[in-house]
Amino acid sequence: MLIAGVIVFRTVLVGGHVNYVRPGLGIPLLLAAAVMVLIGVASLWSRAAAGDAPPHEHVVAHRHHGPGIGWLLLVPMLALITIPQIPLGSYAAGLGAGRSPLRAAVDFPPLPEATNGAIDLPVSGFVGRALYAPETLEGKTVRLVGFVTPDAKSPSGWLLTRFSIGCCAADAFPLKVAVLNEVPRQADQWVEVVGVFRAGPPRGDDGSAQPQLGVVQSRTVPQPDNPYEY
Amino acid sequence: MKDLRVAPSSSGVGRAPERTGRLPTLELLLAGVLVAALLRPVIVRFLEARPELQTWATIFVSISLQALPFLVMGVVLAGAIAAFVPARFMTRVLPRRPLLAVPVAGVLGCALPGCECGSVPISARLMARGALPAAALTFMLSAPAINPVVLVSTAVAFPGRPAIVVARFVASLLTAVVVGLLWMRFGREAHTSRARHLLGAGNTQWDTFRDSVRHDFFHAGGFLVVGAAAAATLQVVVPRSILDSVAGSGVMGVLTLAVLAVLLSICSEADAFVAASLGQFSTTAQLAFMVVGPGVDVKLVALQAGIFGRPFALRFAPLTFSVAVLLSLVVGWTLL
């Protein structure tokens, strides 16, 4: 228990948890880890103090399966320290997902001011407006950040993608933008694009919403601190 | 010349090293962690070529991490109750009249945060102290399903959709009360007279607290891992077409998730996150998953059989399952 607590603690401190859950869960995770560490230490303490006294009997309560199953907890802990902590990427985007979190909002808030010649929008904001309030995007230059998902049927061979999560990575929904005038890029590369909304067939072959963006300029960027949108 | 082979133990007699049969767990764990850290580059390279495994791992870890704080909160509170609240307190609170006692017991469930595994021995203890069996059983069903920790975790799992939290509360409470009332009418004394005393072995209150937390944490945590793995596997391995067709078909979807809830035996504080990850299924199906789970699952049936005897478990489990599914359908269609 002690070890698990320490691992979780370190993960949150390093910031790796945003690849899996909402950043807001960081504090509760730290608290939980602290509790785990405390209880772990307390157990070790009492075991050491008891020395070689005869083993206690009070774990007999659950005869059918004692905490033996607790060993399974090692799996996510080991996963946290061995596998690279990267967010969901192009493979997951290709899988398709559950219900879209985008709802036809009755009215969208006014667009923010442009910075450096373009309005910074989350991909979910862009896709939402493109589907339900395209008039708000008329003639506006926007800046989006997402990663590359290869798609042979799209105009440039790839779609700008961003995952939107409700609770955690497990319910992530991929939002896709069909970029026009773009060069071929590598899967999972993070890209920042500046462009103008183009009205066009809003849905891709698989039924997913894929509004179009005529790209004016783009560049690769490192993975953002918060890879998901909420 | 002194015989150097005499073991200098206090009893004066050389003893063979004590064999408790338990492995040196801490040392094993540390060694395991070290090995894992060393193997990391190998694993990274292995996964690079297999994005499906990486995706599986991300989903799996995310569910585990997401549920962890709620799991800890739940076991800490349950441990506190087990250690610091005398059992007699609960028997005194229940009204005498059976028809009243059952619903009241159901609502009282709000006050007992904790995994379903904790509520089984508590319910047994209540019965042993003279509480009406049907009321104790209702309490056993409602406590893991409608306590604050579970409701909060459900709210967190489905952000922006408070209707689901309400639906869960209503459906679970109704299930607990209905099962209790049915049991009162049709159940037999013989089935519950075997309730036995458990735990309560000496020890200070803090010891009980600490041991209860540890035990519950490992128990519930283990099942959480199984649940997270199963959900991740469902999302990554099962072809989307099959998943979508089953999920889309109303009652089939509900039954599928209800059965899945029984098989997965996830702790009630954490099952909301697994339910949320099964996004293809209808909200009613997700509701059924959350209502059925805390009441009847493989782990619970085993526990109940151990404490109340097998004849009880054989009757109680199917009863709870059917009522839970039916009420989920009803509540789901009206509220969601």
- pLDDT tens digits, B34-56: 777 777 777 777 777 777 788 88
Residue ranges of A 116-145 with Cβ closer than 8 A to chain B: none
- B309 confidence band (pLDDT: 50, 70, 90): confident
Which tens digit of pLDDT belongs to each residue from B112-132?
766 666 677 677 766 766 667
Among B22, B55, B117, B307, the strongest candidate for a mutation testing the A interface, having the largest count of A CBs within 10 A, is B55
| Residue A139 near residue A111 (C-beta atoms within 8 A) | no
Our CA-based measurement puts residue B336 at a distance from the nearest CA of chain A, in whole angstroms, of: 15
- Does residue A65 carry a pLDDT above 50? no
* Cβ contacts of B205-212, under 8 Å, gap ≥ 24: B205/B83, B205/B84, B206/B83, B207/A46, B208/B79, B208/B82, B208/B83, B209/B79, B209/B80, B209/B82, B209/B83, B209/B84, B210/A39, B210/A42, B210/A43, B210/A46, B210/B79, B211/A43, B211/A58, B212/B75, B212/B78, B212/B79, B212/B82, B212/B83
Q: Inspect the interface and report whether the beta carbons of A170 and B222 lie closer than 8 Å.
A: no
- Minimal C-alpha gap between B104 and chain A (Å): 28
* Residue pair B205/A60 in contact by the 8 Å Cβ criterion: no
**Going from the N-terminus, what domains does chain A have, and what CATH number goes with each?**
2-50+68-82 (no CATH), 90-220 (2.40.50.140)
Tell me, what's the pLDDT at B42? Answer: 76
Chain A residues within an 8 Å CB radius of B63: 168, 170
**B176 vs chain A: nearest CA distance in angstroms?**
24
Chain B residue closest in CA terms to A57: B201
**What is the pLDDT, as a whole number, of residue A179?**
85
B73 close contact with A: CB closer than 8 A? yes
* A170 shares contact with chain B (CB less than 8 Å): yes
User: What confidence score (pLDDT) does residue B15 get?
Assistant: 38
- All residues of chain A having their beta carbon less than 8 Å from the beta carbon of residue B281 are 98
β strands within chain A, DSSP E: 119-120, 141-150, 158-164, 173-180, 190-198, 212-220
